[in-house]
A and B are shown apart, each in its own frame.
Chain A
Amino acid sequence: DIQMTQSPSSLSASVGDRVTITCQASQDISNYLNWYQQKPGKAPKLLIYDASNLETGVPSRFSGSGSGTDFTFTISSLQPEDIATYYCQQYDNLPTIIPYTFGQGTKLEIK
């Protein structure tokens, strides 16, 4: 099974800061990597799919990059409404047992 290592687990930043979260896969997953935002008491929301594609309606300050095993999620200028927990998720397109795995999550707070 593919394991995902997401870091950091928590992050404190100021409004306007550039924020970066990383996710590392235990083996090559090509670009099968997605990023979600979850606010307290709410369902997760898709932000970035296939590593770098912005979901429709998502602000352009959110971006993703990477391929293979190393991926990065960036908020170019942090806004107060971006306070949430962010998760990466991988998809194994040749699954033997487990097709999806989530990272551990990154809780983003305002400094």
Chain B
Amino acid sequence: EVQLVESGGGLVQPGGSLRLSCAASGFTFSSYEMNWVRQAPGKGLEWVSYISSSGSTIYYADSVKGRFTISRDNAKNSLYLQMNSLRAEDTAVYYCARVGFYSSSFDYWGQGTLVTVSS
């Protein structure tokens, strides 16, 4: 069974840092592209960042570029999001999501981890 489990969320002050993790199981993690998607309270889905299966190709949304860093450790079946210089508008539930092998869709999602940026 495919499972994605996020962790690392919590309360952080503006300007602070946080590192999110996504533990993958039930599939060959190293073969799949991965993404982070976030959802602010009461708002819609916002794509945050993409990483290719090898980690060689990375993209970021304009809203996080220069502040967030996506990475992966295929040996540990884990995806990460290092978030620096956090702002109030980064408050959201953060989901990791797998890209389907034969399509462009996000076929599996984690349960999400809440990041709250507040003083």
B105 A46 Cβ-Cβ under 8 A: yes
B: residues with CB less than 8 A from A are 35, 37, 44-47, 50, 59, 61-62, 95, 100, 103-107, 109-112
Tally of A-B Cβ pairs under 8 angstroms: 67
Q: If A43-B109, A43-B110 touch, does A102 touch B104 (CB 8 Å cutoff)?
A: no
B107 interface neighbour in A55, A85, A98, A99, Cβ under 8 Å:
A55
A98 B105 Cβ-Cβ under 8 A: no
A44 B106 Cβ-Cβ under 8 A: yes
Is A87 an interface position by the 8 A CB rule? yes
Interface segment among A14-22, A65-73, A74-82, A88-96: the answer is A88-96
B44 A105 Cβ-Cβ under 8 A: yes
User: How far, in whole Å, are A81 and B15 apart by their CA atoms in the complex?
Assistant: 41
A44 B111 Cβ-Cβ under 8 A: no
Interface residues of A in 48-63 (CB under 8 A from B): 49-50, 53, 55
Q: If A98-B61, A100-B35 touch, does A50 touch B45 (CB 8 Å cutoff)?
A: no
B56 to chain A minimum Cβ distance, whole angstroms, is 14
Chain A residues contacting B59 (CB-CB under 8 Å) are 95, 97-99
Chain A residues contacting B109 (CB-CB under 8 Å) are 43-45
